[in-house]
Each structure stands twice: as structure tokens, then as C-alpha cells.
Structure 1
Amino acid sequence: MFNIVLIVIFLCLGIVSQHFRFLPDSLAQYLNRYLIYIVLPALALMYLPKIELVPELALPIASAWISFGLSWLIFGFLGKILNWVNSITGCLVITSGLANTSFVGFPIVQALYGDEGMKIALLIDQAGSFIIVSSVAVIVASIYTVEKKSKRDITKKILTFPPFLFFLIAIFMNISGYEIAGHLETLLEMIAATLTPVALTSVGLQIKISPDAFRSKFLWMGLGYKLVFIPLTILILFRFVFNLQGLMLQVSVIEMAMAPMITGSIIAITHNLEPKLASLLVGVGIPLSFLTIGIWYFILA
């Protein structure tokens, strides 16, 4: 639970730091670049080569892909029929479609379901959420970005985007059976350890809390999808269609009930997809999810 305390501390630190005049106005942008160009590639090299997929874990892993796929389908459809600007649609697809399966998810799953639950949560995060945010989310961000780009420009941006490039390298390492070890692994671990404090501080710096922010229909549509709709969908689909029971069902639903992923919001922000909305979805979603996850836990018990 110490990780959850750190989440609250660094999120509040970012919010409070908005009032420190000695900090540069572009600090959040610098932090986001560090995350994109340094931390996410380090995470790819650390985790993806070690993924071991087994058939019985296919459904829990699929939960992350279902969440993102439905997010793209639903918000993409609503965006067209309701004439939303592309930046709003893209922000909701990415930020609401990705669950915070690691920084919030891991400590909660550990507390609720122990080490056996953590094994399932780890695969959901690595083979689901992390692959999506390193690849598909980048494609979605490039499609919905407010900047007008040709298909060639979008393809170039995706292929030269550091997280996606290192995603491809890490997958090749996985296929080749090569894993990073020794001093380089220690270095990657040190870099990866900065993700939570840096990302949450960055998000906090960009959160503008005001009555108008809480009246945003897009905020509550995104959180309604993330905290209520998608865990309910996974519960019904896995239990009544695929007859999944026990720990795999419980961890799958709880992981999908997590608040929006911090890294997903960073992807949206760096592509200028409604940065304020992306920050609010995380900043409001994390504390609110502590309540909704408790409800889901008792439903599953």
C-alpha cells in the first residue's frame, strides 16, 4: 500500500508546484519528454523480453485489448455522430481505454489477492496494457492529433516514436530469447523507478481544478467508461460467455476497474489531445477509483 501513498503524494506535489513561481512554465513538457524518450524505452527493454504467454492466461491478457478496442469503437462512433473535435475523441479513446494496471493496479492486487493474483496482473500489464500503450495508442494518437498529417507522415511518426521503436526491439529480443542482465539491467531498473514520481508530478502540474472542470461531460463520460462500464463488460463477458471463474476472473475485472493509465495520458498530452482533459481523467480518476474498486471487490467476493 506504500505505492498508493506515493501516488497521492506525487500527484499532490504536482498540483501544489503550479504555484511555485521559480519553476519554469514548461516543466511539465520537459518531464513528459523524459518519460517518452527515456523511461518508456527502458520499460520496454526491461519487461517485454521476459513475457511468457501461456494459453490459460489468454483471457486475462485479452481484457486490456478488449478495453482499448471498445474505447476506440465507442468513442470513435460518438465522436462522429456528435461532431466532437478529433482531439477530444483521441483523448477519450486513449486515456479511458487504458487502465492503470501497474502503478495503482499492482499494489491493490497484491493487497487483495496476494502473490498468485500478482502473477496474473503482471501478464495483463505487460502483454496487454504495456504493449498497447507502446504501439496501438501511438497509432491512435497520430490519427487523432490536431496537426494535419499525411499517411506517410503518420507512419514515419509512429516508426520513429521512441516507445514504439523500442517495443519492436524488445519483441525481437523476446523472440530471440535474449534478456538484458547485469549492470545494464540495474540501470534500466533505476530509470524505470522514476516513472511513477515523474509522471504523477507532471500530471499534477497540468491539472486545473475548478468547478467548470468537474462539470465537463467528457470527464464523466471517460471515467464512467473506465470505472463502471468496462469492468462490468469484462465481468459479464468472461463469467457468462467464457465461463471464467476464480482468481483469473477477479483479477481481470479489478485490473480493468483501475483508473486511467498515467502513461496513456502522457501519450495524449504529448500529441496535444486535450491535455487538460487527459490530466483530469487521471487526477480525478485515481482517487475516485479507490471507492469504485472497493465496490467491485465486494461484487466479486
Structure 2
Amino acid sequence: MGNLFLIIIFLAIGVLLQSLKMLPSSSAKYLNNYLIYIVLPTLSFRFIPDTVIDSTLLMPISTAWISFGLSWSLFGTLGKVYLWDRSLTGCLIITAGLANTSFVGFPIVNALYGEEALKTALIIDQAGSFIIVSSIAIIVASIYSKEKKRKRDVSKQILTFPPFISFVLAIMMNLLSLHLPAQLDFAFEMIGQTLTPVALIAVGLQLKVNFQALKSTYLWLGLGFKLVLAPMVIYILYGIILKADGLIFEVSVIETAMAPMITGSIIAISHDLKPKLASLLVGVGIPLSFLSIGIWYWIVSL
């Protein structure tokens, strides 16, 4: 459970550095770029080539797609009905629709279920959340961004997005049974281990929480979807309708119940989709999710 405390510590370090103004104001941007251009591609090359692809993966993979599709449908509809600013709609779709299935999800799943469950968590993240954040989330961000872009520009942005390029290459390596040279294992592992501290510190540097912000209806609407509604849908669909049980079912629900994905918030921020709300959803969502995940863990264990 020590990993859970480290998550809180790194987030607190970012907030502290921001409050003490110990780093340049552009530090968060550089950290975000490091994650997108170096860390995320590295993770693809480390894990995807060795992933065994078969029909048993459909259930965990589908959780991320169902959650994001539901988010797009719900917030897209609410945005039209209540005439929300398009940047607000896009922010909620992306940030609330993507679960933090990796550097928050992995340590929590490991703490609750052990190393065997990490295989399922990895599938959910790599074949679900990671593909969405590398492609579909970019499309949504471009659609709802104030800066209108042509379809050709959107396609170019996706195809030149480093995590998406690395994912495609890693899938090709998997299909061709190719693997990274053993000499790169240590270096890639070290880079991958920087994901959690760098990402959480970057969020902390951008997090500005005040009493007025916590009263935001949109904050709690997004977190209500992410921490309650989305995992409830997966629980009902898989557990009650499909009668699934066991480790794959439980991990699928728990991973869906994770706080909003930091990478998703980075994409929203980089496209100027309500940056403060995107950062707040992650900053408030991560500590709050410890409580909600505990409740969902109790429910799926019944």
C-alpha cells in the first residue's frame, strides 16, 4: 500500500513547488512534453510487443471504450441541451471519460489483488485507455477546441502524435514477434518509472484549488460520472447482465472507477479546453478516488 501514499506525496510536492514558486511558470509544460514525447512511447515499446492477444481480452479492453463512449454521449448531449461552452463540453468528455488506469491504477490494483491482476490492468490501459487517449481523445479535443481545424489537420495531429506512432509500431512488433534488444530493457524501465512522479508533480504544479473552485457544479458532475456512474455501468453490464465474475471482472470495475487520467487532462489543457477544470478534476479526483475505490472494492467482493 506504500504506492498509494507515494501518489499523494508526489501530488503534494507539485502543489508545494507551485505555492513556493520554486520553479519557472513553464515547468509544467516541459514536464507534460516529457511525458508525451518520451515516457508514453517508452511504455508502449516495453509492454505491447509481449502482450498475448486473444478473445479473453475483449471484456477488460471494452471497459475503457464503453466509459469514453458513454462520457461523449452524456456530456455531448448535456452540452447541447444546456448550451455549454464547447470547451467545457470537450473538457468533461475527455477528462471524465478516461480513467487513470496506469500510474494510479497499477499500484492500486497491485495493492488490492496482487501481481497477477496487473496483467488485466495492463490490457485495460494499453488496448483501451491508451489507444483512446492517443487517437479518439485528440479528435474530440480538436472538435471542441475554439481553434477550428480542418479534418486534414486533425488527421495529421493524430498521425504525428508520438504515443500514437509508438503504439502502432509496438503493435506491428507484436504481430511480427519482434522484441526490443535486451540492452534497452534497463533504460526503458528507468524511463517508465519516472511516469508517476513526473505526471503527478506536473498536475500539482498546475492545480489551483480554492473554496470557490470546489463549489463548481461541473467539477462534481465530472467526478460523479467518473467515480460513480461509469463503474456502475460496467458493474451492471458485466456482473449482472453478463454474469461475469472472478479477477477479470473485479479489476475491470476497479480500473473503471479510477480517477480521471492525467494524460487526458494534459490533452484538454494543451487544447485550451477549460485548463483549470481539467487540472482540478484530476487533482481532486485522485485523492477522492481512494474512498470511492474502497467502496467499489467492497461491492465487487460481495
TM-score range normalised by the length of the shorter chain: over 0.9
Who is 1:231 aligned against? 231
Q: TM-score normalised to the size of structure 2? A: 0.95
Distance change >3 Å, CA 22–CA 118, structure 1 → 2: closer
- Kindly indicate whether the alpha-carbon contact (under 8 Å) linking 2:98 and 2:129 is maintained by their aligned counterparts in 1: yes
CA distance in 2, matches of 1:271, 1:282: 17
- Kindly indicate whether the alpha-carbon contact (under 8 Å) linking 1:72 and 1:93 is maintained by their aligned counterparts in 2: yes
Which sections of structure 2, spanning at least 5 residues, go unmatched? none
For structure 1, which segment, 109-118 or 244-253, has the greater mean C-alpha deviation from structure 2 after superposition? 109-118
Who is 1:77 aligned against? 77
Residue identity in the other structure for 2:99: A
Please tell me the root mean square deviation across aligned C-alpha atoms, in Å: 1.5
Provide Cα deviations, 1:171-214, integer angstroms capped at 9, x if missing partner.
Answer: 22222221213222322222221111111111001111111110
Count of equivalent residues:
301
Displacement of 1:22 in angstroms is 4.3
- Kindly indicate whether the alpha-carbon contact (under 8 Å) linking 1:28 and 1:202 is maintained by their aligned counterparts in 2: yes
Provide Cα deviations, 1:135-164, integer angstroms capped at 9, x if missing partner.
Answer: 222222222222121112111111112122
For structure 1, which segment, 119-128 or 202-211, has the greater mean C-alpha deviation from structure 2 after superposition? 119-128
CA distance in 2, matches of 1:106, 1:166: 21
CA distance in 2, matches of 1:26, 1:229: 36
Q: Does 1:143 align with 2:143?
A: yes
- Kindly indicate whether the alpha-carbon contact (under 8 Å) linking 1:138 and 1:164 is maintained by their aligned counterparts in 2: no
* Aligned sequence identity (%): 61
What is the SS of the residue equivalent to 2:19? coil
For structure 1, which segment, 290-299 or 19-28, has the greater mean C-alpha deviation from structure 2 after superposition? 19-28
Q: Does 1:257 align with 2:252?
A: no
- Kindly indicate whether the alpha-carbon contact (under 8 Å) linking 1:51 and 1:127 is maintained by their aligned counterparts in 2: no
CA distance in 1, matches of 2:148, 2:9: 38
Provide Cα deviations, 1:76-120, integer angstroms capped at 9, x if missing partner.
Answer: 111122211221111111111111112222222222222332222
Distance change >3 Å, CA 212–CA 248, structure 1 → 2: same
Who is 1:60 aligned against? 60
Who is 1:285 aligned against? 285
Q: TM-score normalised to the size of structure 1? A: 0.95
Who is 2:243 aligned against? 243
Distance change >3 Å, CA 115–CA 35, structure 1 → 2: closer
Q: Does 1:215 align with 2:215?
A: yes
CA distance in 1, matches of 2:272, 2:136: 17
For structure 1, which segment, 106-115 or 204-213, has the greater mean C-alpha deviation from structure 2 after superposition? 106-115
Residue identity in the other structure for 2:210: S
Who is 2:166 aligned against? 166
Residue identity in the other structure for 2:164: F
Provide Cα deviations, 1:247-293, integer angstroms capped at 9, x if missing partner.
Answer: 22211111111111112111222222211111111110111111111
Residue identity in the other structure for 1:236: I
CA distance in 1, matches of 2:46, 2:86: 34
Which sections of structure 1, spanning at least 5 residues, go unmatched? none
